[in-house]
């Protein structure tokens, strides 16, 4: 795991080869993260995978988080792992609420196939270039993206003795 100075050194190296791709860095709770430009996330991932001495060749997780009041709203997280040095690195791309679109990284990491479909299924993030971007867990005819924070949670109110005032008897 790169520590704080190591992360800055890494950023410097990326800036040399792909200027402007990394917008910021973050080092919290011993987790190093690169916040990158969403349009150039494939460049950064390719660089981290293929550059000699880096070797982040394993995508251990791809997931999306919804930071609703914030803008840009959606964060796509790529958890990379270097298996030789057992170093983990997070790459994060922020997407706007109106058009959450990003390039697919299935070409780089085949394991991203199902995980991008899951992210599309629950958050509606569109991955351009994905071979088959359809719903994977929810029914095919489901309407909406239920893991977004503004999606109603569903269910039915149940009247217990203590909640009669809230729901009516």
Partner 1 sequence: MEVERRKFEARQASARDMLRGDLEGADLEKYVEERVVTTTFEKMLNLARANSIFPLTFGLACCAIEAPISIVTARYDLARFGAEALRASPRQADLIILSGRVSIKMAPVVRRLYDQMLEPKWAISMGACSSSGGMFANYAVVQGADKFMPIDMHIPGCPPRPEAVMYGFNKLQRKIIGSPDQGWRRRYNAVGTEEWARGGPASQPSPEAAEAYELARGLTLA
Based on CB atoms, which residue is closest to partner 1, 72 or 124? Answer: 124
Please count the CA atoms within 13 angstroms of the CA of 93 that sit on its side-chain side.
23
Among candidate residues 95, 94, 115, 97, the one with its CA nearest the CA of residue 106: 115
From 52, 69, 158, 169, residue interacting with partner 1 (rule: CB under 8 A)? 158
5 binds partner 1 (CB under 8 A): no
In this structure, what are the phi and psi dihedrals at residue 89, rounded to the nearest 5 degrees?
A: -145, 135
**146 to each of 120, 123, 124, 163, how far by Cα in Å?**
11, 7, 9, 26
Based on CB atoms, which residue is closest to partner 1, 53 or 160? Answer: 160
Alpha helices (runs of H) in 35-79, residue ranges in sequence order = 41-50
Kindly report the number of other CB atoms within 10 A of residue 164's CB atom: 10
Question: How many residues sit close enough to partner 1 to count as binding (CB under 8 A)?
Answer: 12
Binding mask 55-94 for partner 1 (x = CB under 8 A): ----------------------------------------
Span interacting with partner 1, options 8-16, 33-41, 82-90, 137-145, rule CB under 8 A: 137-145
152 binds partner 1 (CB under 8 A): yes
Task: Summarize as ranges the residues that interact with partner 1 (CB under 8 A).
Answer: 137-139, 142, 146, 151-156, 158
């Amino acid at each position: 795991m790169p520590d704080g100075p190591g992360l800055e050194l890494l950023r410097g190296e990326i800036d040399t080869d792909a200027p402007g791709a990394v917008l910021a860095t973050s080092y919290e709770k011993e987790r190093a993260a690169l916040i990158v430009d969403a349009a150039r996330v494939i460049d950064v991932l390719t660089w981290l995978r293929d550059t000699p001495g880096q070797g982040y060749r394993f995508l251990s997780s791809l997931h999306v988080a919804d930071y609703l009041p914030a803008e840009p709203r959606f964060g796509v997280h790529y958890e990379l792992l270097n298996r030789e040095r057992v170093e983990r690195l997070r790459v994060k791309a922020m997407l706007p609420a109106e058009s959450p679109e990003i390039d697919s990284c299935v070409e780089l990491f085949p394991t991203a196939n199902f995980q991008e479909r899951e992210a599309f299924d629950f958050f509606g993030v569109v991955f351009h270039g994905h071979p088959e971007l359809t719903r994977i867990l929810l029914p095919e005819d489901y309407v909406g993206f239920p893991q977004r924070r503004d999606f109603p949670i569903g269910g039915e109110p149940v009247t217990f003795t203590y909640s009669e005032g809230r729901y009516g008897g």
